[in-house]
Amino acid sequence: MWALEDDPVLRSSFANVTVTDQPVDFERFRDRMALTVRRVRRLRQRVVEPPGFAAPRWADDPMFDLQFHVRHVSLPAPGTDRQLLDFAAMASIDQFDRARPLWQFLVVDGLADGRGAIVQKLHHTIADGEAGVRMSTNFLDLERDARKPLVGDEPDPDDAPTGRSGFSPVDAMRRPLGMARRAMVETVSAVADPFGTPARAGDAIESVRSVVRQVAVTSPACSPLWAHRSLRRHLETLTLEVEKVKQAATKLGGSVNDLFVTGAVAGAGAYHRAKGADVEQLRMAMPVSTRREGNDGPNAFTPTRMLVPVGDIDPVVRFEAVRDAIGGARGERAVSIFPSLAGVLHALPPQVLLKAARQQVGTVDFTTSNVRGAPFDVYVAGARIVANYPIGPMAGTAFNLTTLSLAGRLDMGLCVDLAAVDDADLLRACIVDAYEELLDAAGVSPG
């Protein structure tokens, strides 16, 4: 993800718009973030790129300045939701300063009706969505006037200085060669024996086929409308009740995520029909979590992609087809192999990696992602969080629809590339209608 930063379309930053019932106490929040930085070492580290072919590494930032990363801003009057979302969309696409740690939190005042907000932005090399939620426990509270943080105030266990950040010429050659060699061994082992059982010829062949299905796609994205890409972003939001989604998903024979994704799929198809461009299939990207119990690493996911039915069909039939497509993607052997493949890709020259990545994202139409948050009310610096709208990384696709659950709500951030989706309001309306249609098909009242 760091190597792809050289291509602005492929940047993997993600953000979140937290809306609160009253303005956030900035001083209190900054104090809590000072504690968070003590506990989460990655937040005070920057990426160091040594000369030659050596891999980048994390190093403590000797000039770390909390005030650069935690800022206080105010919207101009009248402080509408549209102003907040436009501000967040613009902030989400700005490139990070590579000389500093790759994160920034913006406390926003000036919203109408006396509300407050925080725009949180992180680079994906720091954390994925689930790790970001875990990190937030360092600055969230369970009550408005909490006197102590949810976590202790001790620094992280590995609080020793990082050590030298430079590399010798020998390091510059030895590290990538050793990394590539280890990655190749791991990849061959994973392909031959992905589940740690005695390898069989059939298993190895199927593993290779699985990798090919996910990596070696060369056909272009399916949409006749979403051919262009840019750095112009627009953010829309929508919300569903978790309990109603659970009821509907259960009645339809699937999960909350199945229903969430099916709504996005149906909405994308309806958008095309409204534009006079009927299409039967689109290709969707979706990260699959590989996080296991006890895995507290910053990233634990594998990107997958699948063809999904977007034609004008019965919503129940579409739900079942999407559910099966998701199940098939989760069951791909490539999911367990990709971590090893990442080491091989990391050893490629940056120009080769960028070209390959550009070609691959050019095969995908849109992206969906689902992140679970707290099922109860939480507070930040004296304010209750009333909504959380995630802004997932576009990664070269036409739009990203990401949902984050909180206190009985499924809050969704719909981030679109305006060069592809020229009517974001229409796309949002199509997705809203698709969810209502799914709930109605399950006999659950959308209202």
d(CA 121, CA 94): 10
CB 126 within 8 A of CB 42: yes
Side chain identity, residue 357: A
Report in angstroms the alpha-carbon separations of 358 from 7, 145, 162, 220, 362. Answer: 9, 48, 34, 11, 6
Q: Give all strands (DSSP E) within 340-432, no chain letters.
A: 366-371, 379-380, 383-391, 399-406, 409-417
Q: Which of 69, 72, 123, 124 is catalytic?
A: 124
Q: Known catalytic residue: 124?
A: yes
> 315-330 vs 242-252: helix axis angle to the nearest 10?
90
d(CA 104, CA 89): 14
d(CA 343, CA 153): 36
Paired with 240 in beta bridges are: 410
CB 63 within 8 A of CB 165: no
Bond preceding residue 78 cis, omega within 30 of 0: yes
d(CA 384, CA 366): 33
Active site residues: 124
